[in-house]
């Protein structure tokens, strides 16, 4: 019954080597979010897609990009990972068309940069 699925759960990448994290959802929600959560810190919103419209947070580094090819999938691309990008990356979804206002989260991808 997994509703928001993130792959992989753990990702190790080399310094400067592009990496892509993926998220899929079975909820048919029109909004998808990417958060970065560093150790012992609160999740921080990087960007979100409202349908096909991309909304970037003002302080999200250019190194982070995202793609949403269809309703179900969303990708986070890190073009040149640095040591400071090591974190848990959380994908979440929500629907603006329902009375439910909550966001549903995936289990996250823990990224290690070596």
Partner 1 sequence: AQTVTQSQPEMSVQEAETVTLSCTYDTSESDYYLFWYKQPPSRQMILVIRQEAYKQQNATENRFSVNFQKAAKSFSLKISDSQLGDAAMYFCAYRSRGADGLTFGKGTHLIIQP
The binding site for partner 1 (CB under 8 A) comprises 4, 30-31, 33, 35, 41-45, 48, 50, 55, 57, 90, 92, 94, 96, 101-103, 105-108
Nearest distance, CB of residue 62 and partner 1, angstroms:
19
∠67-109-11 over CA atoms, to 5°? Answer: 95
80, 16 Cβ separation under 8 angstroms = yes
Distance of closest approach, residue 69 Cβ to partner 1, in angstroms: 19
Comparing CB distances to partner 1, the nearer of 27 and 45 is 45
C-alpha to C-alpha distance for 20 and 78, rounded to whole angstroms: 6
Shortest distance, CB of residue 17 to partner 1, whole angstroms? 26
Which value, to the nearest 10 degrees, does the dihedral of the CA atoms of residues 107, 67, 52, 4 take?
-10
Least distance (Å) between residue 64 CB and partner 1: 14
**Between 17 and 38, CB nearer to partner 1:** 38
Spatial distance between the Cα atoms of 13 and 81, rounded to a whole number of angstroms: 8
């Amino acid at each position: 019954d997994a509703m928001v699925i993130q792959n992989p759960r753990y990702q190790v990448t080399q310094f400067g080597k592009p990496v892509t994290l993926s998220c899929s959802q079975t909820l048919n929600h029109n909004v998808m979010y990417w958060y970065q959560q560093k150790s012992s810190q609160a999740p921080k919103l990087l960007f979100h897609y409202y349908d096909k419209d991309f909304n970037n947070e003002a302080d999200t580094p250019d190194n982070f990009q995202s793609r949403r090819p269809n309703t179900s999938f969303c990708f986070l691309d890190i073009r040149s990972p640095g040591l400071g990008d090591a974190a848990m990356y959380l994908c979440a979804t929500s629907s603006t068309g329902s009375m439910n206002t909550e966001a549903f989260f995936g289990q996250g991808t823990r990224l290690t940069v070596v």
